[in-house]
């Protein structure tokens, strides 16, 4: 079985800070990480490979430094890594990204065998549109199974897959056909720590670097800014609330009194609440 998984290198948005004055992002020293959601997909892919045999190819589109993310992925035990990097891709939005990736996946298929499964994460933490996955599926004409929580069984011979899919208020049990694209739900597994052997292989393994041409992309008008129907017009910091919280003084007071004071403050600001709480509360 050949599994292709798309990962993205993202700035650790927990550590991104906005410059108070200029409102620009201060990326000085902001570390980059593998999009956390992609790790669930990667681990699932590795488990399926271990269970059914085959190969896992990791694919990313990004600047040259995205190679670090791929090296990490190899360290976790992926068999092959492809970095799709080309100035033509700069500024891609969801549509352009899924175009480039789908073309690259097709090329990976030609070169290393058609994938039975394509994985993406649920969403990225810098774009978080959750649309690149579906986009790839459409373009490659793959069946699309999103928010998958579990893959109970795959029947390679019959080209059949069973999945448990998260949906509003419950879980769908689905049966579908291979090849298909799966986006994994978070928290479904935990990424493994590669063995010393994996780490050694990773360190020696080459990351394939593909340009648009290498990936067999002819129509460059579908790439990067030009291929992106959406455009970011304005970037700005969330408006700060004018006044800070009114602090209730706790100095040498019994907690009990502080609590009463707080409740009074709450009900003076939201008079309607007292009535509601009185009748819903105390259940």
Ligand X SMILES: Cc1cc2nc3c(=O)[nH]c(=O)nc-3n(C[C@H](O)[C@H](O)[C@H](O)COP(=O)(O)OP(=O)(O)OC[C@H]3O[C@@H](n4cnc5c(N)ncnc54)[C@H](O)[C@@H]3O)c2cc1C
Chain positions contacting ligand AMP, by CB under 6 A: 6-8, 35, 37-38, 60-62, 94, 97, 101, 120-121, 123-124, 127-133
Q: Residue 122 or 222: which CB sits closer to ligand X?
A: 122
User: Shortest distance, CB of residue 5 to ligand AMP, whole angstroms?
Assistant: 7
Supply the minimum distance, in Å, between the C-beta of residue 1 and ligand AMP: 19
Q: How far apart are CA 34 and CA 68, in angstroms?
A: 9
**Can you tell me whether residue 82 is helix, strand or coil?**
strand
Identified binder of another protein from the candidate list 113, 177, 213, 216, rule CB under 8 A: 177
CA distance 278 to 283: 10
Is 199 a residue that touches another protein (CB under 8 A)? Answer: yes
Cβ atoms of residues 142 and 118 within 8 Å: yes
What whole-number distance in Å separates Cα of residue 102 and Cα of residue 98?
6
Phi/psi for 17 (5° steps) reads -125, 150
* Site map (CB under 8 A) of another protein, residues 97-136, x = contact: xx-x-----------------------xxxxxxxxxxxx-
Distance, in Å, from the CA atom of 159 to the CA atom of 84, rounded to the nearest integer, reads 29
State how far the Cα of 160 lies from the Cα of 75, in Å rounded to an integer. 30
Binding residues for ligand X, how many (CB under 6 A)? Answer: 3
14 interacts with ligand X by CB under 6 A: yes
User: For residues 31 and 282, which CB has a smaller minimum distance to ligand X in the complex?
Assistant: 31
CB-neighbour burial class of residue 128 (10 A; exposed 0-12, middle 13-18, buried 19+): middle
CA 261 – CA 134 distance, rounded (Å): 52
DSSP assigned state of 229: S
Closest distance of CB 12 from ligand X, Å: 6
Q: Check residue 224 for interaction with another protein (CB under 8 A).
A: yes
Q: Which does residue 120 bind out of another protein, ligand AMP, ligand X, none, counting CB within 5 to 8 angstroms by kind?
A: ligand AMP
* SS3 (DSSP) at 38: helix
Q: Is residue 53 involved in binding another protein (CB under 8 A)?
A: no
Q: Which is nearer to another protein, 110 or 160 (CB)?
A: 160
| Least gap, CB of 242 to ligand AMP (angstroms) | 33
Residues 73-132 that bind ligand X (CB under 6 A): 125
Minimum distance of ligand X from residue 124's CB (angstroms)? 9
DSSP code, position 242: S
Dist CA 199 CA 103 (whole Å): 30
Answer for which of 170, 206, 218, 271 binds another protein (CB under 8 A) is 170
Tokens, residue 128: 């978080």
What does 221 bind: another protein, ligand X, ligand AMP, none (CB cut-off 5 to 8 Å by kind)? none
Q: Report in angstroms how near the CB of residue 98 gets to ligand AMP at its nearest.
A: 8
Smallest gap from Cβ 35 to ligand AMP, in A, equals 5
- Do you find a cis peptide bond into 179, omega within 30 degrees of 0? yes
Q: Is 259 in the site for ligand X (CB under 6 A)?
A: no
29 touches 15 (CB < 8 A): no
Residues at the interface with ligand X (CB under 6 A): 13-14, 125
């Amino acid at each position: 079985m050949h599994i292709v998984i798309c990962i993205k290198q993202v700035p650790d948005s927990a550590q991104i800070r906005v410059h108070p004055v200029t409102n620009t992002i201060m990326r000085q020293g902001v570390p980059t990480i593998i999009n956390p959601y992609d790790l669930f997909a990667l681990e699932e892919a590795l488990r399926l490979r271990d269970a059914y045999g085959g190969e896992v190819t990791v694919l990313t589109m990004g600047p040259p430094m995205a190679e670090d993310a791929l090296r990490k992925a190899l360290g976790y035990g992926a068999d092959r890594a492809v970095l799709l990097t080309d100035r033509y891709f700069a500024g891609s939005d969801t549509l352009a990204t899924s175009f480039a990736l789908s073309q690259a996946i097709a090329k990976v298929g030609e070169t290393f065998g058609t994938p039975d499964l394509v994985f993406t994460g649920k969403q990225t933490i810098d774009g978080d549109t959750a649309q690149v996955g579906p986009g790839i599926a459409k373009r490659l004409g793959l069946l699309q199974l999103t928010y998958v929580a579990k893959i109970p069984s795959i029947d390679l011979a019959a080209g059949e897959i069973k999945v448990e899919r998260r949906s509003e208020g419950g879980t769908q049990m689905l049966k579908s056909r291979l090849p298909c694209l799966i986006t994994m739900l978070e928290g479904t597994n935990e990424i493994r720590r590669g063995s010393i052997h994996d780490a050694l292989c990773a360190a020696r393994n080459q990351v394939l670097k593909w340009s648009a041409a290498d990936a067999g992309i002819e129509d460059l008008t579908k790439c990067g800014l030009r291929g992106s129907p959406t455009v970011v017009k304005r970037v700005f910091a969330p408006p700060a609330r004018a006044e800070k919280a009114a602090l209730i003084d706790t100095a040498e007071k019994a907690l009990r009194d502080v609590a009463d004071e707080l409740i009074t403050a709450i009900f003076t600001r939201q008079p309607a609440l007292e009535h509601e709480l009185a009748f819903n509360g105390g259940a």
